[in-house]
């Protein structure tokens, strides 16, 4: 029986729990029986004998019932894998939970982009403790990139990565391109529609894309830090710039690029027929390799079930060969 602790029970955590309920039969056929032994977030915790369905309902109505702190759950509960889906803060709280779990020999699956500040250390710790750290959900939501790089392309030299790693920016740029509207108007409408956050800084200044780029770079063996990313956001792009670009057969996208020489997030001219001229909130990644040529992937970079699907994919990866069935 696989014992799972869910740390963080907001949108993504609840999405994971709902998929675990809805897809239990399919999941158990593929990886064996599982049980969620504890859930914890800032409202409280639930552990011991409980039904996952009930925990979801309780949390939707308010707080989790036990007053045990998350750190206590992480330190004391008996679990094989911790699904760490707390909010990205680039501070140490989520990372501290991950370290505790790994030190106890449990594996960690996370959507928390805070790992950008500690990925090499966390991976070393996981190896030392014979556990695993899986983080497909941190970059590109449902778009499969981490395992693609780590596994399928493991014996390729990755020469460069060029990606659209922020759906909010891509949505804003697409509408500016298609409707000739100014940045501020599209941003306001995107906020009203719930696509952009009320504080859009991390997205529109390229911070979010930069963090994801650091995670990708470390994944392909470039020991990058966030401070090393050259970064420019999309706030200064005008409808006129789009007009000029379009007349020459280009559009403008916020491109995150990594190679052995540099890491950069900036608005770039992209040929209108390039796969990277992708539209709307989609994310995309173009991978240049030595032997496999160019590989292109695209998909939904955010969303409750999209992100949860990447977490389930990691769960499958972790236990598919474990003989747990």
Residues with active-site annotation: 212
Q: Cβ of residue 48: shortest distance to ligand HSE, in angstroms?
A: 33
Tokens of 152: 């399928």
Measure the CA–CA gap between 121 and 133, rounded to whole angstroms. Answer: 11
Choose between 84 and 208: whose C-beta lies nearer to ligand HSE: 208
Q: Cβ of residue 12: shortest distance to ligand HSE, in angstroms?
A: 10
- Residue 306 found at the interface with ligand HSE (CB under 6 A): no
The only residue of 144, 167, 206, 233 in contact with ligand HSE, by rule CB under 6 A:
167
Q: What is the greatest pairwise CA distance in the chain?
A: 64
Instruction: Tell me how many residues contact ligand HSE (CB under 6 A).
Output: 7
The only residue of 40, 110, 114, 168 in contact with ligand HSE, by rule CB under 6 A:
168
Choose between 15 and 44: whose C-beta lies nearer to ligand HSE: 15
Q: Cβ of residue 141: shortest distance to ligand HSE, in angstroms?
A: 7
Q: Which residues of 192-208 are buried (b: 16+ CB within 10 A; e: fewer)?
A: eeebbeeebebbbbbbb
Choose between 80 and 136: whose C-beta lies nearer to ligand HSE: 136
Q: Which helix (H) or strand (E) holds 320?
A: none
Please report, in angstroms and rounded to a whole number, the separation of the first and last CA atoms in the chain: 8
Give the x/- contact pattern for ligand HSE in 257-296, rule: CB under 6 A.
Answer: ----------------------------------------
Residue nearest to ligand HSE (CB): 168
Q: Strand, helix or coil at 101?
A: helix
The only residue of 84, 203, 257, 306 in contact with ligand HSE, by rule CB under 6 A:
203
* 136 within 8 A of 278, measured Cβ to Cβ: no
Helix-then-strand count for the chain, H and E: 13, 12
Choose between 125 and 254: whose C-beta lies nearer to ligand HSE: 254
Tokens of 294: 């160019």
Q: Which helix (H) or strand (E) holds 134?
A: strand 133-134
Q: Cβ of residue 204: shortest distance to ligand HSE, in angstroms?
A: 9
Measure the CA–CA gap between 202 and 205, rounded to whole angstroms. Answer: 6
Choose between 246 and 298: whose C-beta lies nearer to ligand HSE: 298
Q: Which residues contact 290 (CB under 8 A, 6 or more apart)?
A: 156, 157, 159
Q: Which of residues 137-166 bind ligand HSE (CB under 6 A)?
A: 166
- If one counts every other C-beta atom within 10 angstroms of the C-beta of residue 92, the result is 13
The only residue of 208, 306, 314, 317 in contact with ligand HSE, by rule CB under 6 A:
208
- Residue 112 found at the interface with ligand HSE (CB under 6 A): no
Residues in contact with ligand HSE by CB under 6 A are 166-168, 203, 208, 301-302
């Amino acid at each position: 029986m696989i014992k799972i602790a869910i740390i963080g029970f907001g949108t993504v955590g609840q999405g994971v729990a709902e998929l675990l309920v809805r897809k239990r039969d399919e999941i158990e056929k593929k990886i064996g029986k599982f049980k969620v032994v504890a859930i914890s977030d800032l409202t409280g915790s639930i552990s011991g004998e409980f039904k996952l369905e009930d925990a979801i309902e309780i949390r939707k109505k308010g707080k989790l019932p036990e007053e045990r702190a998350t750190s206590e759950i992480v330190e004391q509960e008996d679990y094989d894998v911790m699904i760490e889906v707390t909010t990205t803060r680039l501070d140490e709280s989520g990372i501290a939970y991950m370290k505790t779990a790994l030190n106890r020999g449990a594996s960690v699956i996370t959507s928390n982009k805070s790992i950008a500040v500690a990925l090499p250390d966390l991976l070393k710790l996981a190896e030392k403790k014979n556990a695993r750290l899986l983080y497909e959900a941190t970059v590109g939501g449902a778009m499969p990139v981490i395992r693609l790089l780590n596994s399928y392309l493991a014996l390729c030299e990755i020469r460069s990565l060029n990606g659209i790693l922020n759906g909010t920016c891509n949505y804003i740029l697409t509408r500016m391109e298609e409707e000739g509207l100014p940045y501020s108007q599209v941003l306001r409408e995107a906020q009203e529609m719930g696509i952009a956050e009320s504080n859009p800084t991390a997205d529109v200044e390229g911070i979010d894309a930069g963090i994801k780029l650091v995670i990708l770079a470390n994944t392909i063996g470039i020991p990058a830090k966030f401070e090393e990313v050259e970064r420019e956001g999309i706030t200064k792009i005008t409808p006129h710039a789009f007009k000029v670009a379009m007349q020459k057969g280009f559009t403008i996208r916020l491109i995150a690029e990594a190679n052995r020489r540099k890491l950069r997030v900036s608005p770039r001219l992209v040929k209108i027929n390039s796969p990277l001229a992708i539209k709307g909130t989609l994310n995309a990644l173009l991978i240049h390799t030595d032997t496999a040529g160019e590989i292109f992937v695209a998909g939904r970079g955010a969303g409750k079930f999209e992100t949860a699907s990447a977490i389930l994919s990691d769960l499958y990866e972790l236990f598919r060969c474990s003989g747990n069935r």
